[in-house]
Amino acid sequence: MKNRAISIVGECSNVGKTTLIKHLLEIFSKEGLKVGVVKHHHKEFDFDREGKDSFIFSKSGASCVKMVSPNRVITIENLNYEKSLHDVLETMTDYDFVLVEGYKWEDLDRIEVYRTGYSTKIISDKDKLIAIVSDLKHDLDADQFNPDEYDKIANKIKKYFKIN
């Protein structure tokens, strides 16, 4: 892929992927890095509300609705198919790199989050595994971090992307 992206994956929900990304974003933001995030959702979702203009435009057949304010732009693309991760990442060219939550079946290098009581195994192929974030040690040849070592994990990601 043209875009620089890694995936943050875990075997199941509630292992700490979102928490990890949140803390990493806080670190990267303070350092002045522009980081995009792509989150995969397995079910249909909608954050537009009935009665709002954007909702009316979408329901009336708009293929794309953009809502623009002084500090934010939200794009709603109405599709009859699921857009590929590759296509989504191709639109994210203005970022130093992109963190992808999920998409564990995609061919991206990844950081896997493992949490006792939730995870039963490491799901990533060894050749794609950048690091493991876990509350226990794994017998794998990959850098391993405790879940609260956010600065060390951020440094690993910057090193991966060759950002000083």
Question: In terms of pLDDT, which residue wins out, 3 or 66?
Answer: 66
Average pLDDT of the chain, as a whole number: 91
What CA–CA distance (Å, rounded) separates 118 from 11? 8
Over 60: is that where the pLDDT of 160 sits? Answer: yes
pLDDT at res. 157: 97
In this predicted structure, the answer to whether residue 136 has a pLDDT above a threshold of 70 is yes
Q: Which long-range contacts (CB under 8 A, 24 or more apart) does 116-121 make?
A: 118/10, 118/11, 118/12, 118/13, 118/14, 118/15, 119/10, 119/11, 119/12, 119/15, 120/11, 121/11
Q: Is the pTM of this model over 0.85?
A: yes
Structure tokens that stand for 117 in this block: 């009581």
Which of the residue ranges 3-17, 46-60, 99-113 would you say has the lowest mean pLDDT? 46-60
At residue 145, the 3 state secondary structure works out as: strand
Closest CA to 164 of 96, 92, 98: 96
Give the start-to-end residue ranges of the domains of the chain: 5-44+80-160
The answer to whether residue 58 scores a pLDDT higher than 50 is: yes
Which CATH homologous superfamily contains domain 5-44+80-160?
P-loop containing nucleotide triphosphate hydrolases (3.40.50.300)
The C-alpha angle 73, 19, 108, rounded to 5 degrees, equals 75
- Average pLDDT estimate for 2-29: 93
Q: What is the CA radius of gyration of the chain?
A: 18
Identify the weakest region by mean pLDDT among 7-21, 24-38, 66-80, 136-150. 66-80
Q: How many helices (H) and strands (E) does the chain have?
A: 4, 8
Which pLDDT value is given to residue 43?
66
Report d(CA 153, CA 124) in Å as an integer.
18
- Tally of CB atoms within 10 A around 13: 10
Count CB atoms within 10 A of the CB of residue 157.
Answer: 22
Is there a contact between 108 and 5 (Cβ–Cβ < 8 Å)? yes
Q: Give the confidence band of 84 by pLDDT, cuts at 50, 70, 90.
A: very high
Q: Mean of the pLDDT values across residues 57-77?
A: 89
